[in-house]
Structure 1
Amino acid sequence: MIEIKNLKKVYAGVTVVNVPQLEIKKGESIGLVGNNGAGKTTLFRMILDLIRPESGEVLSNGANVAGAEAWKDYTAAYLDEGFLIDYLTPEEYFYFIGGLHGKNKAQVDETLLGLNDFFNGEILKKGKYIRDLSKGNQCKVGVAACLLQKPTLLMLDEPFANIDPSTQFRLKNILKAENKNHGVATIVSSHDLNHVTDVCDRILLMEKGVIIKDIATNSSTLSELEEYFGVGQTVSSAPVIDPEENH
């Protein structure tokens, strides 16, 4: 589904992403982990054609994202609140997104009904604009808008960061169900190793712009990652400059 070839991004003379080859197949659940400045968000933004690389390409179903439009019809992403239209209420935003993807009001309402537990009574019919919601509730709106699109590729950047434990649990169940029941390929970045190893079948460990491990999730994966982040790193005196990375 996604194929990356010789992808490189440079800021201020420093290479912040350098991925010679990566393939993500249809229906895979991918976890992307790494410290601040590892290049995770920059990689996400290049996959979504929000920024252009110095060299290389990202192919989505065989087409370069930089020159195609079809991939946008089956790709949904929430990276941060900048993806929202914050002067709308959640309801207005959901109907707008639904309309862009050919969904009428009744169809949108049906999808939202299935997200009642995820919303936990904090999103709909509150008379608030999106800009007045907490970071966690803005995240809920962003994730729900993605699900309205019925994507075959779903990309979420740090979705667990600002939501409460109950919502984290519900979000994990949603991601697992989308992957298992609908064959949705999911790419989730997270600093929470427990969540990402629970949700994802494959983990990409990124450090200083390079994917240094690509492993299938198993019973020892969490321990392996905890060991790496706890004591196993080689600390560099020259930090990576990554202005796209906000976490």
Structure 2
Amino acid sequence: MIQVEKLTKVYKTKTALSLDNLSIQPQEIIGLVGNNGAGKTTFLSLLLDLIEASEGKVEIKEEDVSKTEDWKKFTGSFLDDTFLVPFMTSYEYLEFVAKLHGWNKGDLEDFLEQTKNFYGEDFISGKKLIKDLSKGNKNKTGILGALIGNPDLLILDEPFANLDPTSQQWLRMKIQKLAEEGVTAIVSSHDLQHVTGISTRIVMLENGEVVKDVENSDSTLEELEKYFGDKISEDLI
């Protein structure tokens, strides 16, 4: 599904990301973890061709993302508020995204009916503009937009942040169900419990490099907590 080769992003003298080789297979759920500044958002931005690589390339289904836009047809993503249109309501935004994917009004209504346990109707049916929504409802709007079009590849950055517990659990189950149906997902999160709860594989970044790439297991959460806990101990010495 995804092949990364010699991928580097340098800002002036700082190397934000340096990945020699990384392969992501169909139906994998990749949990991307690391502290702030580790390179997670840089990596996701390069995957989505939002920024230009200093060196190397990203291929999705054997197509270089910087040289074609074909991959956009089957990719759903939400990284932050900049993906949204602030002066639309949530419904208007989702209607806009649906049209981009060739959905009609009936398709969108069916989708909203199927996902209503995630968002509730308080903001989808309201007239409040996205810019005036709570952070949680902005995230819900963006995540719903990423799911429209039945993507083969789903990329989400901190999707569990600011969501209520019911919505968090719905999203966990939805991502796992999508993977069972053939979708590949990359989920970046600071919440180790959530990310290990859904992922089939954990990729950890530190200083822009992969320092851990393992199949998720019953011991992974404990190992990650120890890793980051040890860093706190080092700071206190």
Same fold (TM over 0.5): yes
* Alpha-carbon distance, 1:176 to partner: 1.1
Partner of 1:165: 165
The one-letter amino acid of 2:110's match is E
- Measured against aligned partners, the alpha-carbon deviations of 1:29-76 in whole angstroms (never above 9, x if no partner) come to 100000000000000000100001110000111111000111010111
List per-residue Cα deviations over 1:185-237 (Å, max 9, x = no partner).
Answer: 0000000000000111000011000011100011100000000010158979x
- Give the partner amino acid of 2:70: A
**How many residue pairs end up in the alignment?**
235
1:12, distance to aligned residue in structure 2 (A): 2.7
Structure 1 counterpart of 2:42: 42
1:199 correspondence with 2:208: no
Query: 1:121 Cα deviation (Å)?
Result: 2.9
- Please state how far the C-alpha of 1:122 moved relative to its aligned partner: 2.8
Q: Give the C-alpha shift of residue 167 in structure 1.
A: 1.4
Query: How big is the shift at 1:26?
Result: 1.2
Would you say the 8 A contact 1:27–1:186 is kept in 2? yes
Correspondence for 2:57? 57
Give % identity. Answer: 43
TM-aligned CA deviation for residue 178 of structure 1 = 1.2
Q: CA deviation at 1:170?
A: 1.3
- 2:76–2:148 CA contact under 8 A, matched in 1: no
Residue identity in the other structure for 2:9: K
- Tell me which residue corresponds to 2:188: 189
The answer as to 2:96 corresponding to 1:96 is: yes
CA displacement 1:111-130 (0-9 Å, x = unmatched): 01111110123322111111
Q: Which runs of 5+ in 2 are unaligned?
A: none
Give 1:131 deviation, angstroms.
Answer: 1.1
CA distance in 1, matches of 2:78, 2:183: 15
Report the Cα distance in structure 2 between the residues aligned to 1:124 and 1:57, rounded to whole angstroms.
38
Alignment CA distance shift 1:192-1:52 (3 Å): same
SS of 2:32 mapped into structure 1? strand
Secondary structure of the 1:204 match is strand
Q: CA RMSD in A?
A: 1.4
Tell me which amino acid in the other structure corresponds to 1:132.
D
State the match for 2:124 in structure 1.
124
Deviation digits for residues 67-94 of structure 1, max 9, x if unmatched? 0111010111100010011111111111
Q: In structure 1, give the amino acid aligned to 2:203.
A: L
Q: Determine if the alignment matches structure 1 residue 179 to structure 2 residue 179.
A: yes
Task: Give the gaps of 5 or more residues in structure 1.
Answer: 237-247
In structure 1, the partner of 2:211 is 212
Hey, what's the Cα distance between the residues in 2 that align with 1:23 and 1:113?
36
| 1:25 matched residue in structure 2 | 25
- How far apart in 1 are the matches of 2:233 and 2:46? 27
**Match of 2:184, as an amino acid?**
A
Structure-1 separation of matches of 2:123 and 2:25: 34
TM-score by length of 2: 0.96
**Separation (CA, whole Å) in 2 of partners of 1:132 and 1:164:** 18
The one-letter code of the counterpart of 2:18 is N
